[in-house]
Structure 1
Amino acid sequence: MPRDDISATSSLITRQKQSVSSGIRTVHPVYLDRGENAEVWDCDGKRYLDFVGGIGVLTLGHRHPTVMEEVTAQLGRFTHSCFNALPHEPYIAVTDWLAQHCPIEGPAKSMLTNSGAEAMENALKLARAFTGRSAVIAFDGGFHGRTMATLSLTGKVAPYKAGLGTLPGSVHHIPYPCPESGVSDADALAAIDRLFKIVAEPQSFAAVVIEPVQGEGGFRSCSPAFMNALRQLCDRHGMILIADEIQSGFGRTGKMFAIEHAGVCPDIVVMGKGIGGGFPLAALTGADDVMSAMAPGGLGGTYSGNPVACAAARGVFRAFADDNILARANVLGQRYCDHIEKLRTLPGGDVIGRMRGIGAMRAFELVDGDGAPSPKRLQTLLQLARQNGLLLMPSGEYANVVRLLAPLTIPFDQVDEAFSLIGRLLPALADVQ
């Protein structure tokens, strides 16, 4: 027990330093005690607005009533069965929903996993098994996980790959085309053509892996035209198109999946975060022939598709249907846009750079007087906002992008409260050089 003159937070900071790997970095020294929708309270009783949301997990907020209802009912029946050994209906309820709602052409099948990285690992396995090839195209700035194979896909060295040496697989990174990178669709497609000419022939490549909207990369989005060009490229060369919707899926962009904005059907959709309503669940859904490329027993995992997590997902699906969450995401996204534009008009507002994203998957840059990325101003904003009861999440190639990951269910007056606070902090940010 902490001493009376030491806060619970201070005690936990000390304990973390003593027993948690230093390889695990935390953005905010805030130890949560309880949460309700977009509000959380730390172990010392301080209230915050949560615009981190478990880094995009809590699409429906903390303890959504429908999710909790489904979870509570499942807890009264049984808590675990390994689906590979003894299957259960909650798993099939999830895969049924995915088959009906994922943007896959023709019959679709799914596999459930514990995390997005695990889902991506299995997507790579299936792409290899289906094509008989091993090389993969990925994109600069992408983030696909911290496991060894997904690290090969992740388009950023520090801190994820530093000191690890050679990673598995043959992965080739291409510039991600978007306004923020200054890379055009034509530039990216030319880079792929160059890859085929000087590195390996197209028939060596199993898959193209892309985030329609990058998460860790700072909510950068590629154009519908580029997604369609990738679809044509994969069809032409017999490659699998894998859409990483781990952060952009489940309504964040105003559609269930971000790739729907392009009208493109990938061969595999990889998802996680928002699917489980706060419980550890992820999935990959793909075309029947691709998902059936491995022999029975080639896919699975002890905890994959845990029945309690599956019940939570069923609650998520119900809430999306009953509460019209997609429509609310678009209204929320417009409110974000209006607030970000207003910030620029306030004293100190020239620290606000470009706005990024689609729907409610929005972000804004912090810049210096010359318009260059300002990670110092971002770190100052994170600290000052936290001191005043607002938790924000950094991102971007230059660590100067604030990504807004509040629940899609956040009350609009709390959105106004958060941006009012940011507005009051702008003069202090402008003083940071």
Structure 2
Amino acid sequence: MEKTIQILLGKIGELQKKQIFRQTEVSKRGENFNVFNVLGLWSEEVRLHSAMLAELLNPEGSHGCGDAFLAAFLREVLYNDEKIHDLSKAIITTEYNIGCISEDGMSGGRIDILIEMPNESRLPTLIIENKIYAGDQANQLRRYYNWGLGHFYSPDKFKILYLTLDGSNPSSDSIGKGKNFNYETISYANNIRMWLKKCASIAYNKPKVRETIIQYNHLLDQITTSNMEDKNLLVEEIASNNDYLKNAVLLCSLQNEIIKKAIMGPIRQALENIQKIAQDRISPLTVEFEYSSFNENGGKLDWGFNYIIKEADKIVRLAYVFEAGLKTIYYGIPNQGTSHDFLVKQPVFRNKNEIWVLGWELMPDKYQNWNGGNLYNILEELTSGAFESSEFYKTIINSIEKTSELFNI
């Protein structure tokens, strides 16, 4: 068995290295150029994805295609019905406010995209919850359902769409407790990308609109299905031999333990090395590195680590937070663990809320989701070639230096 596992791991490694080589060649040819990536908007649920979808769906949108994109969305994503007519009076709203969240968490919030159909269409209002990397909120879909029921009086008058990268289901926490209600899952990987291809065809005589749609669809390809072909090759290689298949199943059963070893081995060592390098760079400030224990819930792991930056009795905590079973990774400066004097200063990172007043940002796409190929790529990056030339190192060291500037303001 041991020899078979070694052969299997060797074959997987060979295929993965071929994938990395292909990705490098694609990048050299400029095929990864994308205006949305250049502007750093790829993961922005509100500023890019909700705004882009809403603009295309809006019959009054600047695209000049009227209700054609909205009709295509309904046909391609929901109804497969050619009898959809005249949606020109549909109203599209992003971040639709349904009131403050109540103490019991059963009402209020903001709907990512609300599509109010014309009365004569006899189509239900669409409530779209748009999830790229953010985790579910408690009772989130339950609140939207309660609002719809109170507003329209009948569940037939509205439809909840849960939009994610891969069409995954909402968490039980988001659905909440109470009477069951209907919702539909849709994905960027399949539904939205197919619809965008249709939109590009509709806009054949509007080159600027068509090119923007194509670029956006290419971005979705990068963040959803860019690795599907390579994954299929791996699966076919494993399935080609019964011994490979049995040993792969065994390895899958040990996934969490293997991930723990990877994180607490070369990755932790890299993070500790970053602390030492950062200490030299931002001296006389001091930098400390700390990490949390693994949290395992329902078979999913989560973790986190911090860099504590100090000057005398002043402290700033730069936190790296993992959610959704190591899928979503973001970093920033939380209020907790940071000296109060700093909390009145301008945000350091792009996004902010009441518990991250100095801001937070998502890690780059290539460093999200430590359950799959991305973790392999991180290990490859850290163990091959010069450590300080890796993007992983540069991303974290830059965030530490950016945070340290608070002490100079």
Computing the radius of gyration from Cα coordinates, the structure with the larger value is 2
**Interval of TM-score (by shorter of Structure 1 and Structure 2):** 0.3 to 0.5
Please identify which structure carries the higher helix content: 2
- Whose RCO is larger (CA < 8 A, sep 6+)? 1
Alignment TM-score, normalising by the size of structure 1: 0.37
Alignment TM-score, normalising by the size of structure 2: 0.39
